[in-house]
Amino acid sequence: MTAAPDRPSVLTEVDGDVWRITLDRPESGNALTPALAEELAAAFADRPDQTRTVLVLGNGPRFCVGGDVHGFAEADDAGAFVGRLARDWHEVIRRVLYCPVPVLAGVQGAVAGAGIGLVGACDLVVCARSTKIRPAYGSIGFSPDGGSSWALARALGAPRALELMLTGGTLNASEAHLFGLVGRLVEDDVLTGSAVALAHEIAAGPVRAMVRTRSLVRRAATRTLEEQLDDEAQLIAESAADPEGIEGVRAFVEKRTPDFRNA
């Protein structure tokens, strides 16, 4: 099932300090197509400078069911088509990982296949309690892409990640929260409101210090403590010299709330 040629697959909106990006193929569960990958990459590239966080949402009952299998079936050369789509999707994942402001997601319904990689690349994830997370690659004879194997192995550990992926298993939202794949659980009917509120809360904070924190946390698992200590010393010095750090210290001494937005 494909969207009409003149209909965008991704919607964008400035919501105060927040750049809202919404996957908008609800009739297909926001399944990944070449158009959606291209538009999502462009949406990250087009983020207005004044916005201080990015929030990724999905229209409809499902956040993202992974690749559009109907498109795979219709391709003349499935290997070339899927390989090209994976490379395009990986560019999206890189833009999420290296976004200069924090990236949040609000997810609901179903997260499958490449959608797991998108969730795993985000800094903060708000998840509706009824959400089901399923790699699903094995059911069509595929291996993972989109960073989904990285996200699952990092959150669950290799044994649990392999058990999930090799048996076609499913994580419910509580399990995803317990294992650390998602950071916050909310009731289904308040998902969007909760994700928007959290995005605005983060946008009011020291976003450049948050991005430095993100880099430290992501590198911690692959480095020695000595390497981490060196990096922490460098980045905290950068933070202290940053207008955000100067404002934060000044506000603490003056016993007032810091104004990081104008720092």
Which CATH number is associated with domain 207-253?
1.10.12
Residue range 231-263, pLDDT digits in tens: 999 999 999 999 999 999 999 999 999 999 999
Residue range 66-104, pLDDT digits in tens: 999 999 999 999 999 999 999 999 999 999 999 999 999
Closest CA to 115 of 132, 130, 138, 95: 132
pLDDT band at 37 (very low <50, low <70, confident <90, very high): very high
Has residue 1 got a pLDDT over 50? no
Has residue 5 got a pLDDT over 60? no
Neighbours of 47 (CB within 10 A): 20
Residue range 157-187, pLDDT digits in tens: 999 999 999 999 999 999 999 999 999 999 9
Has residue 25 got a pLDDT over 50? yes
pLDDT band at 118 (very low <50, low <70, confident <90, very high): very high
In degrees and rounded to multiples of 5, residue 106 shows phi and psi of -115, 120
**Rounded CA separation 62/210 (Å):** 29
Has residue 36 got a pLDDT over 50? yes
Has residue 9 got a pLDDT over 90? yes
Write the CA distances from 258 to 51, 241, 249, 250, integer angstroms.
18, 16, 8, 8
Q: What is the 3-state secondary structure (H, E, C) of the chain?
A: CCCCCCCCCEEEEEECCEEEEEECCHHHCCCECHHHHHHHHHHHHCCCCCCCEEEEEECCCCCECCECHHHHHHCCCHHHHHHHHHHHHHHHHHHHHCCCCCEEEEECCEEECHHHHHHHHCCEEEEECCCEEECCHHHHCCCCCCCHHHHHHHHHCHHHHHHHHHHCCCEEHHHHHHHCCCCEEECHHHHHHHHHHHHHHHHCCCHHHHHHHHHHHHHHCCCCHHHHHHHHHHHHHHHHHCHHHHHHHHHHHCCCCCCCCCC
Q: Which residues pair with 124 in a beta bridge?
A: 104
Asked if the domains 10-203 and 207-253 are classified in one and the same CATH topology, the answer is no
**Rounded CA separation 243/246 (Å):** 5
Has residue 54 got a pLDDT over 80? yes
Question: pTM for the complete prediction?
Answer: 0.94
The pLDDT mean for the chain works out to: 96
Determine the pLDDT at residue 221.
87
- Residue ranges per structural domain of the chain: 10-203, 207-253
The region of weakest confidence among 2-16, 108-122, 125-139 is 2-16
With a CB cutoff of 8 Å and minimum separation 6, the contacts of 154 are 120, 221
- The top-level CATH class assigned to 10-203 is alpha beta
Six token digits for residue 25: 């193929």
